[in-house]
Amino acid sequence: DQQVKQNSPSLSVQEGRISILNCDYTNSMFDYFLWYKKYPAEGPTFLISISSIKDKNEDGRFTVFLNKSAKHLSLHIVPSQPGDSAVYFCAASAWSNYQLIWGAGTKLIIKP
């Protein structure tokens, strides 16, 4: 039973345009959500997070939106750059639960 789902295995976006990566979850106990980026042969790198008390969090080119009623979050990257090409993982956790539950990842390809 996948509690965190990333339904798009890959996404191709033109350089300079907006990249939108989506994530859905089923567990209503989740209250903290994170996005990680992973390059080949490296461990995941933290990008941005959002608490369930918010619906938006921004950090430079990266913005995460949370829609609790739809159990959906998205990561927007504007503008997309070649260095953004990587696999992006969505992860979630519930208060007082120490484990992160991860999606399967979306491979983002930025075309020049």
Partner 1 sequence: DAGVTQSPTHLIKTRGQQVTLRCSPKSGHDTVSWYQQALGQGPQFIFQYYEEEERQRGNFPDRFSGHQFPNYSSELNVNALLLGDSALYLCASSLSQLAGGLTDTQYFGPGTRLTVL
| Residues near partner 1 (CB under 8 A) | 4, 6, 32, 34, 36, 41-46, 49, 89, 91, 93, 95-105
- Minimum Å gap between C-beta 53 and partner 1 is 13
Which tokens hold the place of 25? Answer: 């979850």
CB-nearer residue toward partner 1: 27 or 79: 27
In the block, residue with structure tokens 């979050």:
73
CB-nearer residue toward partner 1: 8 or 97: 97
CB-nearer residue toward partner 1: 6 or 80: 6
**In whole angstroms, what separates CA 102 from the centre of its chain?**
10
Assess contact for 102 and 4: CB atoms under 8 A.
yes
- Minimum Å gap between C-beta 11 and partner 1 is 16
Where does residue 58 fall: left (phi above 0), alpha (psi -120 to 50 degrees), or beta otherwise? beta
CA-CA distance, 97 to 99, in Å (whole number)?
6
- Minimum Å gap between C-beta 45 and partner 1 is 7
